[in-house]
A and B are shown apart, each in its own frame.
Chain A
């Protein structure tokens, strides 16, 4: 490890409009607690009225090397406030386009939970497409912003898994976060 290198700083942006009702997301969120170099950001708690503070959000993004998203998969997409957050913060001139290089070189890591089982996310399943395909818009977002796309972490069957199985998922998630933070970057 060179002298000019340090651990990555990770920003975990979580959006769940009713976290108290979600067995899976509560556990995942709890598992991210207490990790050094991980900043946790609860969007629905910070902006209950949907009025996003753009400048403070930009600052947060700039100050971290890895942007991690945690959300439940609603209608094949992220919850409304997270979309609002993208729409207001990830702007031309900041995240992409002319002069929009502030996120270039950073990593985008997506974690989401689905109610349906793994088998539903298959060409022959009732959802007809794979998670990889459903997450293409975010993958392209990363590409347009010059970011590195990290393999997503998906928890399927969140409603039907046993508490023990969900706890195991949460620990695997925590291990993914620890691994990401352990990657060094030039300081």
Chain B
């Protein structure tokens, strides 16, 4: 054991790197992997970690970032469209489950304050595990997914009042409890001020977060985005979260609450996706660290002393949560099967329980032994979630066999993933995008031109700022579930890069790309584009049609001439394609576009023979007109 920072980092990183992927491979999810890793490196197994307090405090910042990101997800429009699910079903779930677990806890001998705290804490489910499980089962967008998401969202929201409420349940006076919960966080700097000034300071801080998010952060991001320094953008994003956390601490509010508020304020910003992607790794790492510290902090002496109690708590918890959620979903009008699926998915304890249990111990609401037992119970219930889902599926399958006409779940979802992701919304992408939108397809637009985004936003389009060649950004935009990616960037190299990356990362995605020229088109097709369009081809052809009409061609003749030319050109494109591969080195070396042009012109002359376009008369047939066999008539 050592206090050496690098050695500590070595221990935690190794634990995470080894445990998380293994747990994920085993279908347990990374959260459990981190917990198990924590247990392994913790004082009860390998005892590799030293003084944990500083690490814990650092790791708790992961929770602050998590709340910031939840805030980013909570657009007012989403809240409004899902209000019934969120506040009705979600609110009922937290209250009823909290009361049910609290009631059972009282029967088991806790006093009402402790019972209420335990009930509310255990009513939370694991957002990470549930969403991951639903995604794996393809249930995210249906009735089940919608209900689960609504409940989880309310639980996430409920954390904030819970942070305020739990100290009130303390066995010791409130101020002491609050201070104890704050722990070594530095505490409030304004505690000495009179009450009205404190209130004013709190209101001022909240106003500063909301106003700053609206009017200060946006211009700053715009400025930084224009500088095109990606790491500074990331730094700014982190700076905002840290600054808000510090500000909130200064006025004595929860940093998590402040971060959530900042997230909501920025949820409507065009930089939302970029912020999410930039912050995501920090959230992931710090939360991982947090889970490791939770694992390392589990007191096995307590648990090993009473293993049957642990088993009882886990089973009781899951059955109770299942029953309450199932009942509420059925009352809310869900079909029995969907209700059972939602209830199964949400039956475990959540990662917030770890945070809140740590917090409540600090606030002297419950004892450390009980907290250790409950932490272990929550962890085990999370581990059992995949098992529970498999069990549910078996039972459902058995019912299906008995009742063959079960209708599939309603596939619509208010905030459904986009059908299409359009990368680049300039002169080209706009036309494609408008056509798709006009025909009822949902698209998410990514663009890195600030001026362009400003204009589009003024017209109410949902546009996100970001460099689409970043896979994480594409993922955040929904590339895993979208049907199609339309690459309409005006940068040739970036287009190639994006097509290649996207093809590797998302093998099922349909990729359409804007090609700079013929050579680029071949390149893109070779790199995995499903279809390409040379950016000037159709426009050049259209102007050619206008020219033909002005030169005296009738409209339909000009139109057909262009159609015929297009077909000829596409055939030539396909015919030259294999040659392209063989001669690529030569052509690239010579860099002689004129060679290609020459070959094309020769092919044009060879193919487009005058008279090919003829129809409706076949010339010089007067002699045949009188023949009795003639059926077709001309005029």
Interface residues of A (CB under 8 A from B): 16-22, 24-25, 44-49, 72-76, 81, 112-117, 126-127, 155, 157-160
List A contacts of B630 (CB < 8 A).
116, 126
- B494 CB to nearest A CB, Å: 34
In the complex, the chain B residue whose C-beta lies closest to that of A72 is B635
- A159 CB to nearest B CB, Å: 6
List B contacts of A22 (CB < 8 A).
616-617, 635
Contact call A114/B635, Cβ cutoff below 8 A: yes
Most buried by B among A25, A46, A159, A160: A159
List A contacts of B616 (CB < 8 A).
16-18, 21-22, 72, 74
Q: Does B461 contact A (CB under 8 A)?
A: no
List B contacts of A24 (CB < 8 A).
635
Contacts A18-B615, A21-B616, A116-B630 given; indicate if A158 touches B554 (C-beta within 8 A). no
Assembly CA distance A74 to B633 (angstroms): 6
- 24 A-B pairs with CB atoms under 8 Å apart are A18-B617, A20-B554, A22-B617, A22-B635, A25-B635, A48-B557, A72-B634, A73-B633, A74-B632, A74-B634, A75-B633, A81-B556, A113-B635, A114-B635, A115-B634, A126-B628, A126-B629, A127-B633, A158-B635, A159-B621, A159-B622, A159-B634, A159-B635, A160-B625
In the complex, the chain B residue whose C-beta lies closest to that of A158 is B635
Q: Does B626 contact A (CB under 8 A)?
A: yes
Q: Which of B558, B560, B622, B631 interacts with A160 by CB under 8 Å?
A: B622
List A contacts of B204 (CB < 8 A).
none
List A contacts of B633 (CB < 8 A).
72-76, 114-116, 127
- A110 CB to nearest B CB, Å: 13
List A contacts of B581 (CB < 8 A).
none
- A45 CB to nearest B CB, Å: 4
List A contacts of B214 (CB < 8 A).
none
Assembly CA distance A19 to B558 (angstroms): 13
- B12 CB to nearest A CB, Å: 65
- Is chain A's interface secondary structure helix, strand, loop, or mixed overall? loop
Most buried by A among B614, B629, B632, B634: B634
Contact call A44/B555, Cβ cutoff below 8 A: yes
Assembly CA distance A47 to B559 (angstroms): 10
List B contacts of A74 (CB < 8 A).
616, 632-634
- B352 CB to nearest A CB, Å: 58
- B229 CB to nearest A CB, Å: 49
Assembly CA distance A159 to B623 (angstroms): 10
List A contacts of B559 (CB < 8 A).
48-49
Q: In chain B, residues 599-633, which have Cβ atoms closer than 8 Å to a Cβ of chain A?
A: 614-617, 621-622, 625-626, 628-633
- A24-B635, A74-B632, A159-B635 known; 5 new pairs, CB 8 Å cut-off, are A17-B556, A18-B616, A44-B554, A48-B559, A116-B633
Q: In chain B, residues 490-525, which have Cβ atoms closer than 8 Å to a Cβ of chain A?
A: none
- B280 CB to nearest A CB, Å: 47
Q: Which of B555, B617, B622, B629 interacts with A48 by CB under 8 Å?
A: B555
In the complex, the chain A residue whose C-beta lies closest to that of B559 is A48
Q: Which of A48, A75, A155 interacts with B556 by CB under 8 Å?
A: A48
Assembly CA distance A107 to B632 (angstroms): 29
Contacts A159-B622, A160-B625 given; indicate if A112 touches B556 (C-beta within 8 A). no
In the complex, the chain A residue whose C-beta lies closest to that of B617 is A21
Assembly CA distance A159 to B632 (angstroms): 13
Top-10 shortest CB links A-B: A113-B635, A72-B635, A48-B555, A48-B559, A115-B634, A44-B556, A48-B556, A126-B628, A158-B635, A115-B633
Assembly CA distance A160 to B622 (angstroms): 7
